[in-house]
Structure 1
Amino acid sequence: MKQELAGVSNRISLTCDVWRSISIEGYICLTAHYVDESWKLKSKILSFCAMPPPHSGFELAKKVLSCLEDWGIEKKIFSLTLDNASANDNMQSILKDQLLSRHGLLCDGEFFHIRCSAHVLNLIVQAGLKVVEGAVHKIRETVKWIKWSEGRKDLFKECVIDVGIKYTAGLKMDVSTRWNSTYLMLGSAMKYRRAFPLLGRADRSYKHCRKKSPKKPEKAL
């Protein structure tokens, strides 16, 4: 792989992401993208490893630069695509200065930093979803409630059968950083919407998408 990267005659673009696992451990993944001699786009993971705190711009830049040096491509970089985390802004600025000092960037690094279009799109959709935030919250909590235990899953299946729903794909849980997962969650919930009121009557601890009982008229004084 190192020989292949050494033989790349054009520039290499990078994508990088940092995240925390459920157990709060930090990870970083750095991927190289380039066109080979046969004009085929190649994507190769250069590093997938633990990223201990702090996740500051300086430490991230240090980690990425070390990886580029290990692969011997620090003078072949064209661009780096990142999401909009504030630490990434600092990281790319520090890394750009380091690469410029080695004459490793074109056009003085004008095209070095690229913001992830998928992340930008997610921010736009999440802002739009605030209009229906209350409804989305109820559906998300409903899915969590049903998936909490096997007993609740079985009870929900009984409600689905009782109301005659034939859809069998099941409810989907979303991830807040992936707008398309919220779309899939809402779509699946719509298929089962007739089962939720029955679930509320079958288990009084379920409170999220139940039909509210009509208020009794106040007695005349």
Structure 2
Amino acid sequence: MPEWRGMTRNTAKTYCINVYESKKKKLKSLLKNVNKISLTRLLEIKEQKIEYMVITGHWIDESWQLQKRVLNFVHIPPPRRGLEIANAIWRCLEDWGIETQDGLSEIKQIVDVIRDSVEYVRQSDARLKIFSEIVKQLNLPEKKLVDDCRTRWNSTYEMLAAAIKFKDVFPRFADRELHYDICPSAEIDKSGKSMLGIRVILDCDAPCFRK
């Protein structure tokens, strides 16, 4: 074919990468005007029997039209635990400049009280011993509290999830620890409802994020 001009593999690779980067730049610019975006994930198995998680963003544009774009293909080897999936989604959103912490800001006061309470217990071996004794008395399967990293929303979820399981321990701990005045029982009750919205992040349904 006279109009056909061949190219090397490296040339083709460079061309594809340039097209991808150009399209990605345009999409990033578009997403800056998106207030909220929801995510879905789909597991695909390719011919090489390699499994990929496809992360797709969905939002309503200024004309009230539903838009969606594939944000990433991520390879997560089995068994693909919830936290591993959450971390993969977090890295994808970070790459696209999508803010994930805003969802927790709505329950910031609740998170702060629970975080302070967890830190108080974990700061002393004596306090941890008292807390563990109460856990044993109540025959709870969980053994320890979980600290969070304030810049990682998934670790904050893990902290809240663990605290909920110790809901009945904190009041009893307060009875035995005179200087403990931040018992988070009320906050744990509130966070249980609020975390229904956060839990979908780890369960990978269709979480909603804010830009």
Give the TM-score band, short-chain normalised.
Answer: 0.3 to 0.5
TM-score by length of 1: 0.43
Task: Name the structure with the higher helix share.
Answer: 2
TM-score by length of 2: 0.44
Larger RCO, structure (CA 8 Å, separation 6 or more): 2
Larger radius of gyration: 1
